[in-house]
A and B are shown apart, each in its own frame.
Chain A
Amino acid sequence: GAGVSQSPSNKVTEKGKDVELRCDPISGHTALYWYRQRLGQGLEFLIYFQGNSAPDKSGLPSDRFSAERTGESVSTLTIQRTQQEDSAVYLCASSLAGGPNTQYFGPGTRLTVL
């Protein structure tokens, strides 16, 4: 079946602009995660959605970052007033439920802020 998909695959933007990144999880997966991966670094947790529960936003680095999820489907990560330090690969993952279930990752969106 189809895996996690993300769009766009690449995004180049100017400092100060807003960007929206999209994630389509695997059908039936109730849990969805966003991570950020800076060049040469591991992944940093950003936010976690599980069903209709309030999302865990503890990893969002500033109030310029926000995310939404429609039911148990698509999620959008929005970065307002982008800064150069926001340049990274943004990865989305989904799993059947929260907890120690396998997280399946998408290919990521490579964001470059000029």
Chain B
Amino acid sequence: QKEVEQDPGPLSVPEGAIVSLNCTYSNSAFQYFMWYRQYSRKGPELLMYTYSSGNKEDGRFTAQVDKSSKYISLFIRDSQPSDSATYLCAIIQGAQKLVFGQGTRLTINP
């Protein structure tokens, strides 16, 4: 079993829709959960991170962690064409190593 599992998509939605991106993880000891956004032919950039359980909101983006079910989510409200990218969830393992999901390719259609 992979440590972090993510549906690769692709996912295509109309502009303005609410987008839900999800990952599951295997080790209940993980504490830090991150979402990275990667545009084509660019390096990933950190979008949000959360510590332990709960929600974190930043503008149109909300990150959610459910430790009881080992499930992490990223919600994008009022999606824009500029949000089209690959979204990668990640956890920190052993205090420094990022373990990534496969990434979900998202397209927002105008």
Contacts and interface: CB of A to CB of B under 8 A. Distances in A.
A108 B40 CA distance: 11
Given A40-B8, A105-B45, A107-B43, A31 B100 contact: no
A43 B92 contact: no
A4 B43 CA distance: 10
A28 to B, nearest CB: 17
Given A42-B88, A42-B100, A43-B88, A98 B95 contact: yes
Contact of B98 (A4, A41, A103): A103
A8 to B, nearest CB: 14
A107 B42 contact: yes
Interface string B81-106: 00000001010100111111111000
B97 A48 contact: yes
A93 B88 CA distance: 15
A99 B95 contact: yes
B41 interface: yes
Contacts of B42: 107-108
B98 A43 contact: yes
A48 B100 CA distance: 15
10 A-B pairs closest in CB distance: A105-B43, A42-B100, A98-B96, A43-B100, A100-B32, A42-B102, A45-B97, A99-B95, A105-B44, A107-B43
Given A102-B49, A104-B46, 11 more contacts: A33-B98, A35-B98, A35-B100, A40-B8, A43-B88, A43-B98, A48-B97, A59-B97, A98-B95, A100-B51, A108-B43
Interface of B: 4, 6, 8, 32, 41-46, 49, 51, 88, 90, 92, 95-103
